[in-house]
Amino acid sequence: MVQEIWQLDGRRTRSISAENPTGEPGAGGRAIAGTGAFAAAGMGRGWKVSPSVDMESGQTVTLADITGPGVIRHIWITLDRTLLRHFTLQVYWDGSPEPAIAVPLGDFFCNGWEQPALVNSQMVVVAPAGGLNSYWPMPFGSNALITLHNGAERTTEVYYQITYLEEDVPSTAGYLHARWRCSDPLGSPAVHPLVEVVGGPGRYVGTYLAIEPRVPGWWGEGEFKFYLDDDGEFPTICGTGTEDYFGGAWNFDLNGTQLPYSTPYLGLVQVQPHDRIYEPQQRFGMYRWHIPDPICFEYGLRATVQALGWREDGHYLPLEHAHVATTALWYQSVR
């Protein structure tokens, strides 16, 4: 990344927003109608006439339809913070009929619960008061199609900007994929499937977990397991507990308080409500980015997480009634 800053190699920057829906050179700020037209009345073209789009209930809007090759470098988007899980982000690479990314907007930005949380990480930043930023590099060959669906019951204003570079993409590049899975309730056995990937080669690069345990006490004894390629009943990578996977320890409990934290590669960003502990209806959200430590596979990957608490007799308690939702991110060859 640092090396790229000083390289002058002819790549061209383009940026798509409601003020420049195509991203074409010199096409920004030309609107004569839009959501800002009333505020800009009498000021003329170029004065924030179309800063956003109104999305009706049930509507799907194309945010970007880009001819490649290129690499998306930054996505910024914001809307009503209470509706983040009602909107779905979908991304299609190179004309595929199936989306490579299909995730509720909030979960893609580590905000799976209605009460928003700030995030200060390498790949995702959520800034006051609800600015959602993705720095996941997203290479594509012939085309990138990004859509947003409004599953809420009302019309909402959406602001967005998608910045990409027109540049060649090597044949060895992996395309970003993301999948959201929700178990509500989890059921028996208390094992939540994060993802199953067929094909490769690939690199697993990130996890976001949102959980509501629905039982009192500590809920995070479950292990993350990654089954690589020919693994059968038992995985190659097996963790030691949920909080351990996200870089924490000992229930995230520091003197009777579970303190949120956000670092470049892992964090616990949602503890709701923050002034309670070990209550059944609490909600938690946490992320881990496998950037310096990617999980590489040749032709297949399966990942799961157990949901375990404690019984009074000291045995594990499978959390069969828990709400567990995960977003899994990986790069995979699609050629």
Asked whether residue 91 falls in the same domain as residue 220, the answer is no
Q: Which domain holds residue 60?
A: 2-173
Overall domain count for the chain? 2
Q: Are 23 and 129 within one domain?
A: yes
The answer to whether 52 and 84 are in contact (CB under 8 A) is no
- Cβ atoms of 200 and 104 within 8 Å: the answer is no
> Domain containing 6 — which CATH number?
2.60.120.1390
Q: What is the pLDDT of residue 10?
A: 82
How much is the pLDDT for 335? 55
Residues 49 and 168 in one domain: yes
| Residue 3 bridge partners (DSSP) | none
Distance, in Å, from the CA atom of 200 to the CA atom of 179, rounded to the nearest integer, reads 16
Q: What is the pLDDT of residue 8?
A: 82
* pLDDT at res. 2: 52
One domain, residues 138 and 188: no
CA distance 170 to 191: 38
CB 323 within 8 A of CB 82: no
CB 198 within 8 A of CB 281: no
Question: What are φ and ψ of residue 273, in 5° steps?
Answer: -75, 150
Residue 160 neighbours by CB under 8 Å, 6+ apart: 17, 18, 52, 53, 63, 75, 76, 77, 78, 148
Question: For residue 4, what pLDDT is reported?
Answer: 67
- CA dist 286 and 271 (Å) reads 9
In the block, residue with structure tokens 């070990």:
278
166 and 37 within one domain: yes
Q: What is the pLDDT of residue 9?
A: 84
Domain boundary among 173, 192, 207: 173
- Given this model, what pLDDT does residue 3 score? 52
Structure tokens at 12: 């061209």
- Tens of pLDDT, residues 49-68: 999 999 999 999 999 999 99
Residue 138 CB neighbours (<10 A): 22
If the chain, 335 residues long, is cut into consecutive pieces of 10 residues, what is the mean pLDDT of each piece?
70 96 96 94 93 98 97 98 97 97 98 95 97 98 98 98 96 97 98 96 98 98 98 98 98 96 98 96 98 97 98 97 98 82
Q: What single-letter DSSP state applies at residue 223?
A: P
Q: What share of the chain is helix, strand, coil (3-state, %, to 5)?
A: 5, 45, 50
Distance CA 300, CA 316 (A): 31
Among the residues of 204-279, which ranges form H helices?
Answer: 242-245
Both 164 and 180 in one domain: the answer is no
Q: What is the pLDDT of residues 252-273, one digit of tens each?
A: 999 999 999 999 999 999 999 9
Which DSSP state fits 37?
T
**CA proximity to 209, closest of 246, 253, 250, 235:** 246
* DSSP-assigned beta bridge partners for residue 203: 296, 331
Which of 123, 157, 173 finishes a domain?
173
Q: Sign of dihedral through CA atoms 274, 105, 135, 241?
A: positive
Compute the residue count for the chain: 335
Last residue of a domain, one of 139, 173, 207: 173
**pLDDT over 70, % of the chain:** 99
Q: Which residues contact 278 (CB under 8 A, 6 or more apart)?
A: 216, 217, 218
Measured in degrees and rounded to the nearest 5, phi and psi for residue 20 equal -150, 80
* 213 plus 92 within the same structural domain: no
282 and 306 housed in the same domain: yes
Percent of the chain at pLDDT > 90 equals 95
